[in-house]
Every structure is written in C-alpha cells, then in structure tokens.
A and B are shown apart, each in its own frame.
Chain A
Amino acid sequence: AQSVAQPEDQVNVAEGNPLTVKCTYSVSGNPYLFWYVQYPNRGLQFLLKYITGDNLVKGSYGFEAEFNKSQTSFHLKKPSALVSDSALYFCAVRAHSGAGSYQLTFGKGTKLSVIP
C-alpha cells in the first residue's frame, strides 16, 4: 500500500523568508509525486509534479520541490514567502504500476501561515 506523511500540521513563516513544507512517501517501485494547494472552501489547485529526470522540479507561483529517492522525500520549497501563499498544502503519490497505480494517495495536509 502506498502512503504519504506530512509531519507538520502547521508551518508558520515570516513574509520574505524561505519556506519548506515537508513530505515523505512510501510506494512500491518508483513514484509519481504531486503537490497541490487548497484555499478555504475551494478545490485543490495543482502546483507541480515529479515524474522522472531532474530531482528539482519547478512549478507554479515560484514553488519548487526536491525529490530525494534515498530519503523518500519530496519537500516543497519557496525562496521568499508571500502572505498570499497562506493555504493548505497537500502532497500526493501514485505508483508507476500495479493494483493501486490509478489511485492518488494524499497526505493529511499542512497549513501554511505566512506572517506579515
């Protein structure tokens, strides 16, 4: 079974400082990894994904994520946080193949608060 852990329920960061939202995963074989953002009472918006290749993935709104196979991690980062980045962030994983490969498994989410 595949799983995702987001160890921090909440992350607080000052505006202008770098931010990191952590994600570790467990999956059989190679993973496909995704980050989504959710604003209050809205659906999820896709930020970025890792499929293969370069371990550093760049996405929307200045976000990037680094895939680390040995640590089974896919942390989301941004060099300079904005107040408008405050939202709920979800990491998700799916396997390349197998019975569960069509299912996207989500972490429980991390609430990011950027303080002015």
Chain B
Amino acid sequence: DGGITQSPKYLFRKEGQNVTLSCEQNLNHDAMYWYRQDPGQGLRLIYYSQIVNDFQKGDIAEGYSVSREKKESFPLTVTSAQKNPTAFYLCASSSPTGLTHEQYFGPGTRLTVT
C-alpha cells in the first residue's frame, strides 16, 4: 500500500448525496486509476488518467466523475446518479505510462450508502 493513500477508510452516506473519495500518491507516477470491487466480480475500471488535466472513462463510468488537477491527486466523486454505489473503491497508480509497468494500489475506501 505504500506511497498511495486513500481516505477515509470507511465512508457512510445517505442515498441521494454526492460523496468524494480521496486518492493521493507520492510516487511521482503519471498514470492513476479508480476501480470498483464487488464480491465475486473482481475489479472494474471506473476512470483513468494518464497525465494531469486529462482522464478517460473506464468500463463503468456512469454515475462517477473525476478530476486530475495535480499529478499527486485523483479524487473520485460518486454522484447520486450512481444506482448502486455501495462497494469497495480502490485507487492505483503506475509510472511511466508504459504498458509493462505494474500498478500500485492504495488501501481502499469502503463506501456504504443507505
């Protein structure tokens, strides 16, 4: 988990509220990613960013938004449009953006929406 921090570890929200999950890295990595993990479904890519001020949708971007204003930070907002937001959210980074490099993961944020 070293080098990537996610906060908070546990987050509880009421349905209809937007919530922002924090992801910070001090690894000087160019690329950052957000994944969602549900039991028995593995990891699914929400958004990724290869450089500052640029990001692309992953497989399940609907109901989520991101920003990449700084190299170190890639916050994820779970909007009220996300129909089933309760999940474990993982942030990752890699550098350089070359395809041979593994991704490093943060410790995750468990979001519960009731």
Q: Which residues of A contact B (CB under 8 A)?
A: 9, 32, 34, 36, 41-46, 49, 51, 90, 94-97, 101-104, 106-109
| Chain B interface mostly | strand
Chain A residues, Cβ within 8 Å of B6: 43
Task: Mark each residue of chain B from 30 to 68: 1 if its CB lies under 8 Å from any CB of chain A, else 0.
Answer: 010101000011111100101000001011000000000
A107 touches B42 (CB 8 A): yes
Which of B41, B92, B99, B104 gathers the greatest number of chain A CB atoms within 10 Å? B99
Tally of contact residues, B, Cβ under 8 A: 31
Q: Which residues of B contact A (CB under 8 A)?
A: 1, 4, 6, 31, 33, 35, 40-45, 48, 50, 56, 58-59, 88, 90, 92, 97, 99-100, 102-108, 110
Query: Whole-angstrom distance from the CB of B39 to the nearest CB of chain A?
Result: 9
B102 touches A42 (CB 8 A): no
Chain A residues, Cβ within 8 Å of B50: 102
Which of A32, A90, A94, A101 makes the CB contact (< 8 A) with B42? A90
Residue of B nearest to A6 (CB): B42
B90 touches A51 (CB 8 A): no
